[in-house]
């Protein structure tokens, strides 16, 4: 495997008599979203502050692209750390400065760019974060979500290669939690940075993470992809399971991916499934375009409405559904073969076209969508499942079969 971007080697950190990290070994790879999970007070933020150099380990070392930070020359170390931005849990915006000045601060103080170039870069980031109208407002005049976006704009204005997010969703409601994580995932794709998140609210980060680091009792007890976390046997897992169950409620009754797999295997073992059954995978296309037009909050309300619609429709025919990602859903119909599932899907498509889209783009959202002439397309694919096949393979087959089942066309044309 490639050299890790950041590596912790036997890092120990103490505050007086209290050991917070004890011989921690961890790897963070370039271009990924790595999430550090753990219970409150388990040292996640301390871990993060070692990466940015705010804290130094008592023992061990932190390596940047394979080279220990403490062995680097001052200039080299500065250059390495300059590639990292940090987003604080409470945003840490300067409350006596406007959003514009907050975003401009790192450019003014650490570069020799001219006023016009700074203005161009700052306004670009502000616009990208949908804060154009709030550029000259003070942080206290902004909502929590807008403050988050302002902090992200400030973190991204220097074009960092790595962005560290300290508990980005803490204290947010479920819709906003999803919106913030979507913002992280979307911007990571757009700006191609490596993201490291700290979270004690585990389930929602599942959707966007490539890699999980689990901190427990001062040590890293797990590191790997979220899927492998399934076979990880540890007391921390119980905490996580409880959080996952909480998420089901938060996400309009839909299962999280991991919990979905648990139910799938349980039903498989109990013989609920027919010899062949159907697996459907839905996707909302061009969610990025929609988000840039309507805003993250609005889009996540739409996604949650769609979750509810899928769940209520297919649970009536004995199915169960889950979210695969931010804009993907999977439904298993244990009692239906593909032919029957095709008929059910047609009914779903008609019903969804009839009232589902209306429910999703209701009220203000519908007005905005009409004014902005946005398109909203739903794709679906069906695959045949057999008990001997792995669910991941079946899901992949269903994805390959995806086709458009309904769309909201631009209102201006009068077609829905």
Partner 1 sequence: MSVTEKDGYSDDKIIDRGSLPTRPFAAIGRKTINWVNTLGAAAIFLALAVLMIFRPKQWTKVVEQIYYIGARSTTIIILVALFTGMVLGLQSYHALAQFGTVGAVGTLVALSLIRELGPVLTAIMITARAGSAITAEIGIQRISEQIDALDTMRIDPLRYLISPRIAASIVSFPLLTALFDLVGIVGGFISGVVLMGANAGTYFYRVQASVDMKDVTDGFIKAVVFAVIVATVCCFQGYFVHMRTDSRGAKSVGLSTTSAVVTSCVLILVADYVVTSLLI
Distance CA 212, CA 229 (A): 8
Q: Which stretch binds partner 1 (CB under 8 A): 75-83, 272-280, 311-319, 388-396?
A: 75-83
CA 366 – CA 372 distance, rounded (Å): 10
Cβ neighbours around 18 below 10 Å, total:
8
**CA nearest 259: which of 269, 246, 245?**
245
> 158 vs 292, which CB is nearer to partner 1?
158
Contact 42, 215 (CB under 8 A): yes
Closer to partner 1 at the Cβ: 115 or 403?
115
Q: How far is the CB of 205 from partner 1 (least distance, A)?
A: 21
With beta carbons less than 8 A apart as the criterion, state whether 287 and 299 touch.
Answer: yes
Residue 72 in contact with partner 1, rule: CB under 8 A: no
> Phi first, then psi: what are they for 166, rounded to 5°?
-95, 110
Other beta carbons within 10 Å of 25? 13
Per-residue binder mask for partner 1 (CB under 8 A), 326-345, x = binder? --------------------
Q: Which of 6, 24, 62, 84 binds partner 1 (CB under 8 A)?
A: 84
Q: Is the dihedral of CA 19, 23, 24, 30 positive or negative?
A: positive
Among 25, 59, 70, 108, binds partner 1 (CB under 8 A): 108
In the complex with partner 1, the residue whose CB is nearer, 109 or 238, is: 109
Residue 117 engages partner 1 in binding (rule: CB under 8 A): no
Nearer to partner 1, 106 or 356 (CB): 106
Question: What residues are paired with 376 via a beta bridge?
Answer: 408
Between the CA atoms of 43, 214, 326 and 269, what dihedral angle is there, to the nearest 10 degrees? -150
Q: Which stretch binds partner 1 (CB under 8 A): 23-31, 80-88, 238-246, 318-326?
A: 80-88
Residues 46-65 that bind partner 1 (CB under 8 A): 49, 52, 54-56
CB of 27 to partner 1, least distance (A): 22
Question: DSSP secondary-structure letter at 194?
Answer: E
CB of 194 to partner 1, least distance (A): 16
Residues contributing to the site for partner 1 (CB under 8 A): 16-17, 49, 52, 54-56, 78, 81-82, 84-86, 88, 90, 92-95, 105-106, 108-110, 154, 158
């Amino acid at each position: 495997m490639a050299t890790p971007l950041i590596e912790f080697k036997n890092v120990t950190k103490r505050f007086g008599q209290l050991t917070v990290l004890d011989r921690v070994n961890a790897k963070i790879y370039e271009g990924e979203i790595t999430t550090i999970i753990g219970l409150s007070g388990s040292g996640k933020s301390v871990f993060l502050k070692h990466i940015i150099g705010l804290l130094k380990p008592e023992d061990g070392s932190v390596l940047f692209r394979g080279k220990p930070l403490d062995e680097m020359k001052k200039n080299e170390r500065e250059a390495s750390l300059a590639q990292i931005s940090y987003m604080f849990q409470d945003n840490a915006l300067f409350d006596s400065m406007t959003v514009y000045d907050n975003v401009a601060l790192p450019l003014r103080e650490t570069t020799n760019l001219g006023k016009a170039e700074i203005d161009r870069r700052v306004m670009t980031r502000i616009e990208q974060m949908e804060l154009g109208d709030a550029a000259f407002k003070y942080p206290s005049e902004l909502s929590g979500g807008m403050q988050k976006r302002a902090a992200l704009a400030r973190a991204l204005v220097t074009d960092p290669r790595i962005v560290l997010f300290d508990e980005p969703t803490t204290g947010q409601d479920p819709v906003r939690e999803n919106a913030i994580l979507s913002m992280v995932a979307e911007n990571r794709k757009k700006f191609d940075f490596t993201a490291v998140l700290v979270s004690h609210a585990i389930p929602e980060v599942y959707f966007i993470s490539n890699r999980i680091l689990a901190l427990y009792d001062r040590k890293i007890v797990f590191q790997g992809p979220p899927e492998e976390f399934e076979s990880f046997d540890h007391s921390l897992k119980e905490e996580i399971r409880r959080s996952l169950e909480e998420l089901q409620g938060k996400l309009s009754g839909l299962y999280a991916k991991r919990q979905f797999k648990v139910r799938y295997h349980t039903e498989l073992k109990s013989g609920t499934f027919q010899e062949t059954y159907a697996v459907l995978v839905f996707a909302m296309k061009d969610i990025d375009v929609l988000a840039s037009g309507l805003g993250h909050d609005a889009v996540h309300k739409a996604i949650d409405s769609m979750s509810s619609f899928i769940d209520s429709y297919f649970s009536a025919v004995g199915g169960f559904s889950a979210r695969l990602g931010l804009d993907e859903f999977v439904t298993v119909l244990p009692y239906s073969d593909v032919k029957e599932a095709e008929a059910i899907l047609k009914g779903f498509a008609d019903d969804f076209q009839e009232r589902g889209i209306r429910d999703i783009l209701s009220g203000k959202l519908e007005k905005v969508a009409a004014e902005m002439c946005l398109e909203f397309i739903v794709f679906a694919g069906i695959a045949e499942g057999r008990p001997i096949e792995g669910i991941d393979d079946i899901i992949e087959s269903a994805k390959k079969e995806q086709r458009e089942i309904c769309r909201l066309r631009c209102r201006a044309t009068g077609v829905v």
